[in-house]
Chain A
Amino acid sequence: MTSARNRELLALVPVALLLTAGFAAVFAQESARIDDASLVYGAYFFALCLATHIYLRIRLPNADPYLFPLAALLLTFGLVMVYRIDPSLARDQANWFVFGLVLFALTIQFLRDYDVLERYRYTIAVVGLLLLLAPRVPGLGQQVNGAYLGIKAGPLAFQPAEFSKICLVVFLASYLREHREVLIVGARRVLGVTLPPLKHFGPMLVVWGASMFMLVFIRDLGSSLMFFAAFLALLYVATGRFSFVVIGMAMFLVGAWFFASTVPHVHDRVEIWLNPYAHPRASGYQILQSIFAQADGGLFGKGFGQGLITVPGTNDALLPAAQTDTIYSLIVNELGLFGACGVVLIYLLIAARGFKIALLSDDGFSKLLATGLTAVFSIQAFVIIGGVTRVIPLTGVTLPFISYGGSSIVANFVLLALLLLISDRARRQSAAAERVGGLALEGSR
């Protein structure tokens, strides 16, 4: 299946050129000259992509050829945008990119037989929960804007929710693979509503509990929403029962409504979402500035490096958290509606490739794992883009592969590695099946 890898290589070339062009544009804007550095950055980037590509050629020759170039494209966007905001942040980001690639390679190296994950599913679930809890541990956790999102141990700081989302999906995929039959068969109709069997639903309630727990103790509305949506997506795919999704959604809404009225942080987020103009200079500032930045972008945007992030001459933020939460608004501001459509389209293409992998997979675990990983990735993109465009309340979730932040990049590289692993197996099997079919055809002739 070298043709798949050739397609991957071919797709990486324009990505590297885009990065070069992007940096050139930022340099041109900043110092009115074309800097050689943009070529150097482009070359580094291309070399890294090339190394990864060669590694994939050796280890996973059959894996999906488009996922890695698409992720590289998003990273390109991210690197150029972050560089344009603050060059020193971009250096960090580039380091995280390299570190992410290393973890990407390690995952592929040691999880080639990813079925082992099934064996440790409860351990993985516990690790995932512990990771979520960690930010509340005194002396370890950090509070950001009223939410407990980060861990800080010495020089190392990271956001555990990024990693626990993968743990959760692995656990759910494994659990549902085993129990989907009983969940379907044991379902009972009560008053015209199909209810899942209570006995096997216990662990599912744990997931609901975990989401609510995040809402209350971690106060992370965004991750809570993302986790629960991924859970419902997997439950639906595993059982085919839409009523389960409806019941789950009702449970989440009731819980969210209850906590929105009792937990001040959650309540505030919802309040700001509904009435941003109530306190335009305080709590409503970020979402309003996010929308004003988009209004300024129009169809074509103001051009790379032309948007305002701080009030000129001061350090006052005009677009708060431009490198993380509101990076999408900056993209709309500088690249316009068309640029934003491009970004959303890339996420959509990644989702399409991810679900395609799930469709091609033979065994239940692979199918559910690919579905879960793709769903959680897409929903994360939806939660943050939806947040800054006021579709849903704004929360501190990162935009995968674009936002500044090590945890996000590294975790998403692991997620990508898992998808490629599943893809390699699925395509190898289907290719083998074709070959067998072809031989059988020849034999009959």
Chain B
Amino acid sequence: MNRQIIKLFGLIVALFAVLIGFTSYWSVFDAKALKEKDANKRPLLEQQQIKRGRILAADGTVLARSVPKGHGDSLRYVRRYPEGSLYGHPIGYSFVQQGDSEFEQFHNDELVGNESEFSSILDELRGRRQEGDDIVTNLDPTAQATALEDLREAGFGAVVAIEPKSGRVRVMASNPAYDPNRVPYELTKLNENELETPLVNRATQGQYPPGSTFKVVTAAAGLDSGEITPETAIEAPSPLDVEGVPLENDFNESFPPITLDTALTQSVNTWFGQLGQQLGQKTMFEYMDRFGFNSTPAIDLPSNQVYASGVFEDHHLLGPNDPVDLARMAIGQERLAVTPLQMAEVAAAVANGGKLMKPQIWSRVVDPDGRVTKRLEPSQYSQPISAETAAELNTAMQGVVSEGTGTNAEISGVTVAGKTGTAETPYNEACGGGTDENQAWFIGFAPAEDPKIAIAATVECTPLFGNDVAAPIFRDVAETILNGE
């Protein structure tokens, strides 16, 4: 029987080897994938035992901090948002059961202090508990408050303000807002509110028809490609037959040959429609790409919470070879859907002499000892247009505010450049299905000679026009920021 006993022992050894094999697989080889499973709350729970860093506004106002609860084994930190709904967007939230979103999610590694493996081992040896770093943002509390207040009066919508030279995001407001402190109690309710969708950051996820604000892109493409100069005059009859459907100007007004300045100031549809057709789809799409359309903006927010802008069909972006009504696209119609962030980037690029900087919310990372460990170094995303083109557009956009369709954006003592937009959105279910609904826009920057701030403001489901409802928001926010300089 001894031979069999030895064989049986061999089998037991083999079985135990299988156990070691599986244990190694779960604990080492597959560990990373397991930690990323949705059902696995362990990483979050462990993070909860780490004191998460604070998030601060540019002036030091605390936007998010962690407070201890319990002690010993049950010590954990819970997130508090002292400013309530004011920074629900873009800061987001971070809770164990509900997960995290927006800025909290994107900057998680810094906020929980996930340093290199080596330094964390050193910390462990020194008996030091892992502690997160603070992050100071570029957000301007006064301007953020102004933006949200104005939006609450005007309707649902969003405001994005970017410093053109650095890409620093000074304001990102979205209405309706939500109070992140309430998320642990009413996340389901917030999620199920399909009418208001308060958890959607409209600044980065709102996909709206841009209306006439898109004419800035068309004009930029025309000037920069050399198709037109500021002196080029084009006749703009109304109505103009485009692909069998007449395209009209406001009040069905026909224009003799006019230059870009007049066309932009009066927002002449048939002028830009013809320019778009002259440029061709390839050139139009090329300039859109350069401004950042058709891809996810390079902002420091989770990429699944920032949407691309472009021409959509069934939620898919169309390309330069897909059938598109060019004339209507050139004036911001067709199936164009853009985010307020993208339109703010267009304004910022024109303001910054044609250079588009990467928009960034964070400014610097400060470790628990108060040392700055990382500092934002502004970087260029692209140069969509030449400095010359930018200067020519700047001039034309000044006319819009001083004598054109955007006079409500005027700030006394400051030259403002901008463009209004009013996209008709009848039968829009989000607006209740009425016929008299518009998407009102204003994009612009100030001071025009040395731009300090570029802003996009938009209001959905309003019977009013861009100049009536969006331009005043631009004015208030720009004024607040310029006064704070």
List chain B residues, Cβ under 8 A from A379.
Answer: 12, 15
> Are B5 and A295 in contact, CB atoms less than 8 angstroms apart?
no
> Are A355 and B13 in contact, CB atoms less than 8 angstroms apart?
no
List chain A residues, Cβ under 8 A from B41.
Answer: 311, 318
Complex Cα spacing A248 to B13, Å: 21
Quote the shortest CB–CB distance from A233 to chain B (angstroms): 6
Residue on B with the closest CB to A277?
A: B39
List chain B residues, Cβ under 8 A from A341.
Answer: 20, 23
Residue on B with the closest CB to A333?
A: B27
* Interface flags, A261-295, vs B, CB<8A=1, else 0: 00000000000000001001100100010011111
* Interface flags, A301-345, vs B, CB<8A=1, else 0: 000000010011100001000000000000010001100110010
List chain B residues, Cβ under 8 A from A295.
Answer: 26-27, 30-31, 34-35, 40, 42
> Are A359 and B5 in contact, CB atoms less than 8 angstroms apart?
yes
Known: A298-B28, A336-B27. A371 touches B18 (CB 8 A): no
Complex Cα spacing A297 to B20, Å: 14
Chain A, interface size: which category?
35 or more
Q: Which stretch, B72-80, B187-195, B334-342, touches the partner chain A?
A: B72-80
Known: A341-B20, A389-B19, A391-B22. A312 touches B75 (CB 8 A): yes
Complex Cα spacing A256 to B255, Å: 87
Interface: A39 (CB within 8 A): no
> Are A281 and B39 in contact, CB atoms less than 8 angstroms apart?
yes
Residues of B188-243 at the interface with A, using a CB-CB cut-off of 8 Å, are none
* Interface flags, A78-104, vs B, CB<8A=1, else 0: 000000000000000000000000000
Interface: B153 (CB within 8 A): no
Give which listed residue, B3, B26, B45, contacts A308 with CB less than 8 A: B45
Complex Cα spacing A364 to B4, Å: 13
List chain B residues, Cβ under 8 A from A118.
Answer: none
Quote the shortest CB–CB distance from A363 to chain B (angstroms): 11
Interface: A426 (CB within 8 A): no
> Are A313 and B27 in contact, CB atoms less than 8 angstroms apart?
no
List chain A residues, Cβ under 8 A from B12.
Answer: 348, 351, 375, 378-379, 382
List chain B residues, Cβ under 8 A from A368.
Answer: 1
Give which listed residue, A237, A351, A389, contacts B22 with CB less than 8 A: A389
> Are A318 and B45 in contact, CB atoms less than 8 angstroms apart?
yes
Known: A318-B42, A341-B20, A348-B12. A237 touches B35 (CB 8 A): no
> Are A292 and B76 in contact, CB atoms less than 8 angstroms apart?
no
Give which listed residue, A237, A280, A389, contacts B4 with CB less than 8 A: A237
* Interface flags, A340-371, vs B, CB<8A=1, else 0: 11001001100110010011000010011001
Residue picked from B8, B23, B70, most chain A C-beta under 10 Å = B23
Residue on B with the closest CB to A364?
A: B1
List chain A residues, Cβ under 8 A from B15.
Answer: 378-379, 382, 386
> Are B5 and A340 in contact, CB atoms less than 8 angstroms apart?
no
Give which listed residue, A280, A281, A355, A386, contacts B19 with CB less than 8 A: A386
> Are B8 and A233 in contact, CB atoms less than 8 angstroms apart?
yes
Complex Cα spacing A284 to B70, Å: 30
List chain B residues, Cβ under 8 A from A41.
Answer: none
Residues of A35-60 at the interface with B, using a CB-CB cut-off of 8 Å, are none
> Are A359 and B42 in contact, CB atoms less than 8 angstroms apart?
no
Residues of B21-54 at the interface with A, using a CB-CB cut-off of 8 Å, are 22-24, 26-28, 30-31, 34-35, 37-42, 45-46, 48-49
> Are A312 and B76 in contact, CB atoms less than 8 angstroms apart?
yes
Residue picked from B26, B34, B35, B96, most chain A C-beta under 10 Å = B26
Interface: B483 (CB within 8 A): no
Residue on A with the closest CB to B4?
A: A237
> Are B31 and A240 in contact, CB atoms less than 8 angstroms apart?
no
Give which listed residue, B18, B35, B73, contacts A312 with CB less than 8 A: B73
Residue on A with the closest CB to B31?
A: A295
Interface: A25 (CB within 8 A): no
Interface: B6 (CB within 8 A): yes
Interface: A390 (CB within 8 A): yes
14 A-B pairs in the complex with CB atoms less than 8 angstroms apart: A280-B38, A288-B40, A292-B42, A296-B31, A308-B46, A318-B41, A340-B23, A344-B23, A351-B16, A359-B6, A386-B22, A389-B19, A389-B22, A390-B22
A residues whose Cβ falls under 8 Å from a Cβ of B: 30-31, 233, 236-238, 240, 277, 280-281, 284, 288, 291-299, 308, 311-313, 318, 332, 336-337, 340-341, 344, 347-348, 351-352, 355, 358-359, 364, 367-368, 371, 375, 378-379, 382, 385-386, 389-391
Q: Which 6 A-B pairs have the closest CB atoms?
A: A280-B39, A295-B34, A389-B22, A295-B31, A294-B26, A237-B4
If A240-B4, A340-B20 are given as contacts, then 12 extra A-B residue pairs at C-beta distance below 8 Å, sorted by A number, are A30-B73, A31-B72, A236-B8, A295-B40, A298-B27, A299-B27, A312-B75, A313-B76, A318-B45, A332-B26, A337-B24, A348-B13
